[in-house]
Amino acid sequence: MPIPSRTILDQELNQLKDNIIRLASAANNSIEKAMNALQTRNVADAQSVIANDESINQLRYTIEEQALLILATQAPAASDLRAVIAAIHLAVELERIGDHSVGIARLVERMEDEEEIDTLHKLPKMARRASEMVQQGIEAYINHDPQLALNMIKRDDKLDRQYSRLFREALEEMKDDTYIRRATFLLWAGHSLERIGDRATNIAERVIFMCTGEFVETPTSLD
């Protein structure tokens, strides 16, 4: 007896969701490991983040192939179609988040010979906020919760303010010539975290579209 096409589509959509969850977990692990490497100046840990990026890339391509196969063989419509399109976009954003983490890890390699860093300014708080934003965006995706996604978008303003403060503090530190190189590296790390927040915001916007069929690019009410 043939399996009903709806059952097949549901199975394939669930597999797609499972892989998005796996990719989100891998991307967030990269953020955490890269920041731990930066805080401890551990080059081996940084190189581990860099080496793991290939598996993140491959999982992204797997998700895209799954999505294209669903489009070609199941012809999903309405909310199912939006879910497939959202998965493709989420996979791209999560893979880019992994790239930003690799950027931080590569800075650790370049800072190996730097003097001991007495402060990372706002970087640890920025990293926690960025990671939480990614987690919240994926939670909204899993639960089909557009309001949670919208709430997450509103958090990006604080991350931007933290980056602005980091920028000012780093410029102040650069007045001492001996700290110019170190402050520059910290600014680059902060920029990577700020971009992770932007990627998380993109995820939330796609989740809102998946759930409602509406594009939201600014914090506005869903009512």
pLDDT at position 125 is 94
222 belongs to a structural domain: no
pLDDT tens profile 152-198: 998 899 999 999 999 998 888 888 877 888 889 999 999 999 999 99
Question: Is residue 96 domain-resident?
Answer: yes
Q: Token pair for residue 167?
A: 């920028």
- Alpha-carbon distance of 13 to 187, in angstroms, equals 40
- Radius of gyration over alpha carbons of the chain, in Å? 20
Tokens 């007896």 belong to 1
d(Cα 136, Cα 160) in Å, to the nearest integer?
Answer: 17
Answer yes or no: is pLDDT of 142 > 90: yes
Residue 218 lies in a domain: no
Classify residue 208: in a domain, yes or no.
yes
Q: Is residue 35 part of a domain?
A: yes
| High-pLDDT (> 70) share of the chain, % | 93
**Domains identified in the chain, total number:** 1
223, part of any domain: no
Identify the CA nearest to 160 among candidates 180, 185, 181, 133.
133
Cβ contacts of 4 within 8 Å, gap of 6 or more: none
Domain encompassing residue 155: 5-212
The amino acid present at 47, given as its one-letter code, is: Q
User: Is residue 68 included in any domain, yes or no?
Assistant: yes
Angle between helices 123-143 and 180-212 (to 10 degrees): 10
Measured distance CA(133)–CA(149) in Å, rounded: 9
Work out the pLDDT band at 37, boundaries 50, 70, 90. very high
The pLDDT assigned to 115 comes to 64
The answer to the question of residue 196 being in a domain is: yes
- The amino acid sitting at 178 is T
Q: Give the domain CATH number at 74.
A: 1.20.58.220
CB 182 within 8 A of CB 148: no
